A = this chain, B = another copy of it.
């Protein structure tokens, strides 16, 4: 499998990834090598990882899995651990886990002693195709996602699709939503292939998604323009995800499940605002609902979600800006939506 070249780091898959990691460690004189895991990756991925490497790990740091732990308190513990274990500026942190872990580990590494090297080894499909690519790191602030963070690139990103076998299929499907998004915003034939066929966990599919995300990120690393298209489905999706996380009587949604709903809603807004054909909106809705359960939104839920919208970090000057589709495979950014359309979008979703 070909490696994908990014600006300052490389994304390697399978055997190439293993070789790249061992070579990098052999040629770089790190003072200490730390490995960050959670209880799941410790149990299921660490044994596989240990077979791959030909260098010793100095210390394994463990955090609890789950978005609710993606908080500055967890970072504080990690900074203290690194400090107590004599981590210094020439130390390396290897992040072995899903998006929560790689986002947080990336942030901790980027800020420990004003920045040490880190390597991401995403173990969920979501983090392989999305979170670990592009240099966004950070943690949540209460229920507000990714409010605190930096943009900083890892030394390398290593993809081992075999880790996906260790996962709950619901987790894996969550990443599938991001892959479908890549098709919707950039490549209609990829959308068609993915929605029809569906072995989205094979290395070729994963690589196609990484290539799309990477191409976008390379052109606009700090999200001044083009990169915003990656937020399709995320403006409403984030608000839905935050709302469900905060309300214990609602079922917690995985990120992909929330943005699947977000993409249907924003697909509808695309129809109203940018002339995306009704046929395409229906195709998007049908495509997602084939793979993702419909979320049951009450009127109160919808009102609360719309309140949360104004806190979304992509909002500027108090306005909520959306990424919409002109057609499948072509996105436009910075669209403001009249308030009344949100209710119509939810009505369409519930139909």
Which residues of chain A have a CB within 8 Å of any CB of chain B? 31, 72, 75-76, 79-80, 83, 86, 88-90, 110-115, 136, 138, 141-142, 144, 146-151, 222, 310-311, 313-318
Contacts and interface: CB of A to CB of B under 8 A. Distances in A.
Contacts of A144: 83
Secondary structure of the A side of the interface?
Answer: loop
Contacts of A142: 80
B138 A317 contact: no
Given A72-B75, A88-B317, A113-B146, 6 more contacts: A79-B147, A86-B310, A111-B138, A114-B138, A114-B313, A150-B150
A313 B89 contact: yes
Contacts of A31: 316-318
A80 B149 contact: no
Question: How many copies are assembled?
Answer: 2
A86 B31 CA distance: 42
B86 A318 contact: yes
Given A113-B313, A151-B115, A76 B72 contact: yes
A314 B113 CA distance: 9
Interface centre among A75, A111, A149, A311 (most CB of B within 10 A): A111
B112 A148 contact: yes
Contact of A83 (B114, B149, B222, B311): B311
B316 A149 contact: no
Contact of A141 (B83, B141, B310, B314): B83
A287 to B, nearest CB: 31
A111 B111 contact: yes
Contacts of A72: 72, 75-76, 79
A103 to B, nearest CB: 11
Interface centre among A222, A310, A315 (most CB of B within 10 A): A315
A142 to B, nearest CB: 8
Contact of A150 (B111, B141, B311, B314): B111
